[in-house]
Structure 1
Amino acid sequence: MREAHALLTPAAFGGVVATVIDNNPGMDKPTATRIVTEAIKFVDAAAQFPAVKITPSQVVDEGWHALILHTGPYAKMCEQLGRFVHHYPERPDPERHDPHALTRTVALIEQAGYIVDRELWTGPATALVPVTANCSHTPKPGGCGPINPGECATHGGGQGS
């Protein structure tokens, strides 16, 4: 099995965990660590399988938001993965809900070589913890947005979010 922490330095990982805690007063460090770990797994799977429609859970999206705020480590991680994974936030909308999106995403993360922390991959009604992330994502190839190899080269190019 792969180790998600290896995609960031210990200092960068700790900084992202601290951001999740800062954004969610009262959250404990072990929970924030789990959230960031799952977000890294999600980004890795999105980079490995850019043609598959996946989306993060609301809880994991909190970790992804924190990762993105640490632009240097996030860019370096994406460079290691060979593809920049862009974030395209949308306001929550029940009409866009895909009941199979999280199941498909979890399966892809497992296919990418990870053990999934399933408690963090539930819908908002059964989320392990409340988080401040208030966006949802229509499942799109590459995870939350069109990933085009020509557009998302590892050295510049592509559009940010």
Structure 2
Amino acid sequence: MTIALERPVGTTDPAALVGPEVTERLARRITTDHPEISEPTARRIVGQAAAFIAASGRLPGQSLAPSELVDYGWHAFILHTVDYAEFCERVSGGFVHHVPTDEGDEMPGGAQATRERTLAAITAAGYTVDEELWPNMADCTQCHAGCTDSPNSGKKK
């Protein structure tokens, strides 16, 4: 059996990967959990999280990582398990796991190299990168115990 994965032609707005209903649901979750984030920014975060997840699913084991803001979108998406599982299957042919990094582990090549590797993977997958949402990297890769908003990080979820 062959699985036809959704692949963009040319450079594509990653928000197109997630339907409007799911986008609004995830954006509401982001603004509820992070009231400092506006609704328009939350929608942009959803799009970048979708692009990150799609690229990660196509390149497992490549040590890709989200930015702190994009990680908020990934966490919101994971909470909506039915939507998340369907999305992963559609864009990458299988579930994209969120794997914790151990405390003290560093990203291969450092945060800057991880950022460059991740943004290159998103671009190579055909998605537009929203540079403003990638100022700093989350402490996790393709994450619970090591993520920026986990209970173990000292930040409020």
Q: Report the TM range for the smaller structure's normalisation.
A: 0.7 to 0.9
Unaligned runs of 5+ in 1: 125-134, 145-161
Query: AA paired with 1:115?
Result: T
Instruction: Quote the residue 2:128 is aligned against.
Output: 115
- Distance, in Å, in 2 between the alignment partners of 1:9 and 1:103 is 28
* Residues 97-149 of structure 1: per-residue CA shift (max 9 Å, x gap): 4231011100110000011011111226xxxxxxxxxx621x5xxx36xxxxx
Unaligned runs of 5+ in 2: 1-10, 144-157
Instruction: Quote the residue 1:105 is aligned against.
Output: 118
Q: What's the C-alpha RMSD, in Å, of the aligned pairs? A: 1.9
**Superposition map of 1:1-150 within 5 A:** 1-81=11-91, 82-90=93-101, 93=104, 96-97=106-107, 98-99=110-111, 100-123=113-136, 136-137=139-140, 139=141, 143=142
* Residues 75-112 of structure 1: per-residue CA shift (max 9 Å, x gap): 1001102121001234764x514231011100110000
Q: Percent identity?
A: 38
Report the count of equivalent residues. Answer: 129
| 1:54–1:105 contact (8 Å) kept in structure 2 | yes
Q: Secondary structure at the match of 2:21?
A: helix
Q: Structure 1 residues 9 and 111, CA, compared in 2 at 3 Å: closer, same or farther?
A: same
The TM-score with structure 1 as length reference comes to 0.72
Q: Secondary structure at the match of 1:96?
A: coil
Q: Structure 1 residues 115 and 92, CA, compared in 2 at 3 Å: closer, same or farther?
A: farther
| 1:39–1:61 contact (8 Å) kept in structure 2 | yes
